[in-house]
């Protein structure tokens, strides 16, 4: 492959289970950037949750791109310029928030700067705030509090209940919205036109890079559109089976420097 761009999911892909980028993975990604390859961080996280990884990989110096919210917001790493942004309808979001009050989920709302929850001690709230280095504000009711149009709603869910709850939410949503799994314990409600595959196509159009000259790495359901859009879609060994089935290659796990292995063996 004449790889010109590599798109990387973060959690479970770029980082190991301790949420760290290993030295071997970091070295491999720094080396390809020195050869002119552009990096794209493609994550379900809000934009601030991408900054630490971008800094470790020196993406500002190499023209990297931050694709946050599954592609709902795309930002240039060097200047912070927003290339595209897609929002949910505010009134419709209020109705959804009222609906979610009946379900066994912890809703985590954000405005791109901080998180809002009804219970700061709720399931995965502290984890999410720490993961993204963002503050969390507790409010009495999210639907009543909402005065902006979010890009997504994040739901923390018991992994044993997540598939059933995902189906129940999907039945409620209009066609312009969808609900996707981004981790074993996370669901996200986002506009249907948001996905990492569209985000990758938009980034390539902006940079003038052919999709055939791209590679993408991922491990979760929300990574599938990106893996199938890329010239080479690579699933991690720790990926869901449905993700592996859609990938062109399966590399080693996120704990075994799977990205570095793939770069050496398939992108070198």
What integer pLDDT is reported at residue 158 of this predicted model?
98
Quick one: 105 and 81 in the same domain? no
Contact between 70 and 152 (Cβ < 8 Å): yes
Quick one: 75 and 151 in the same domain? no
Among 147, 175, 191, identify where a domain stops.
191
What integer pLDDT is reported at residue 244 of this predicted model?
98
Global pTM reads: 0.93
Reduced DSSP (H G I as helix, E B as strand, rest coil) percent helix, strand, coil of the chain, to 5: 40, 20, 40
Quick one: 51 and 179 in the same domain? no
What integer pLDDT is reported at residue 219 of this predicted model?
97
Domains in the chain, number: 2
What integer pLDDT is reported at residue 69 of this predicted model?
97
| 241 C-beta neighbours (distance < 10 Å), count | 7
Contact between 29 and 259 (Cβ < 8 Å): yes
Quick one: 78 and 198 in the same domain? yes
Structural domain boundaries enclosing 18: 5-85+194-266
In the chain, the largest separation of any two C-alpha atoms, in whole Å, equals 53
Contact between 108 and 117 (Cβ < 8 Å): yes
Quick one: 104 and 81 in the same domain? no
Report residues of the chain scoring pLDDT below 70.
1, 268
CA dist 196 → 47, 68, 215 (Å)? 14, 9, 13
Among 191, 206, 226, identify where a domain stops.
191
CA angle 114, 119, 121 (to 5 degrees): 95
Nearest to 216 by CA among 203, 228, 205: 228
What integer pLDDT is reported at residue 268 of this predicted model?
66
Residue-wise pLDDT for 183-192, tens only, equals 999 999 999 9
Quick one: 179 and 140 in the same domain? yes
Q: The domain that contains 184 carries what CATH number?
A: 3.30.1240.10
Indicate the burial class of 19 (C-beta count within 10 angstroms; 0-12, 13-18, 19 or more): middle
Among 146, 176, 191, identify where a domain stops.
191
Quick one: 27 and 108 in the same domain? no
Q: The domain that contains 204 carries what CATH number?
A: 3.40.50.1000
CA dist 237 → 132, 220, 245, 261 (Å)? 25, 11, 11, 12
Q: Could you give the CA distance from residue 194 to residue 208 in angstroms, rounded to a whole number?
A: 21
Quick one: 110 and 79 in the same domain? no
Quick one: 56 and 102 in the same domain? no
What integer pLDDT is reported at residue 245 of this predicted model?
98
Long-range contacts of 175-184 (CB under 8 A, 24+ apart): 177/88, 177/92, 177/96, 180/70, 180/221, 180/222, 181/220, 181/221, 181/222, 182/44, 182/70, 182/220, 182/221, 182/222, 183/11, 183/12, 183/220, 184/159
Quick one: 176 and 218 in the same domain? no
What integer pLDDT is reported at residue 1 of this predicted model?
62
């Amino acid at each position: 492959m004449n790889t010109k761009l590599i798109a990387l999911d973060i959690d479970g892909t770029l980082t190991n289970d301790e949420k760290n980028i290993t030295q071997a993975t970091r070295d491999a990604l720094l080396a390809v950037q020195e050869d002119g390859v552009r990096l794209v961080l493609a994550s379900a996280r809000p934009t601030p949750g991408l900054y630490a990884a971008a800094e470790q990989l020196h993406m500002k110096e190499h023209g990297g791109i931050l694709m946050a919210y599954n592609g709902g917001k795309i930002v240039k790493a060097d200047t912070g310029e927003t290339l595209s942004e897609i929002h949910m309808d505010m009134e419709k979001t209020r109705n959804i928030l009222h609906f979610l009050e009946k379900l066994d989920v912890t809703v985590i709302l954000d405005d791109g700067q901080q998180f809002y929850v009804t219970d700061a001690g709720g399931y995965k709230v502290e984890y999410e705030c720490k993961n993204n280095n963002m503050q969390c504000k507790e409010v009495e009711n999210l639907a009543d509090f909402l005065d902006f149009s979010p890009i997504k709603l994040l739901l923390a869910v018991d992994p044993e209940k997540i598939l059933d709850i995902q189906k129940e939410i999907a039945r409620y949503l209009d066609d312009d919205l969808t609900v996707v799994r981004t981790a074993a314990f996370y669901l996200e409600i986002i506009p249907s036109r948001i996905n990492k595959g569209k985000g990758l196509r938009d980034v390539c159009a902006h940079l003038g890079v052919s999709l055939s000259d791209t590679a993408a790495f991922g491990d979760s359901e929300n990574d599938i559109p990106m893996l199938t859009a890329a010239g080479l879609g690579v699933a991690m060994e720790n990926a869901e089976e449905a993700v592996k089935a859609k990938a062109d290659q399966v590399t080693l796990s996120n704990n075994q420097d799977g990205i570095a292995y793939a770069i050496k063996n398939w992108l070198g």
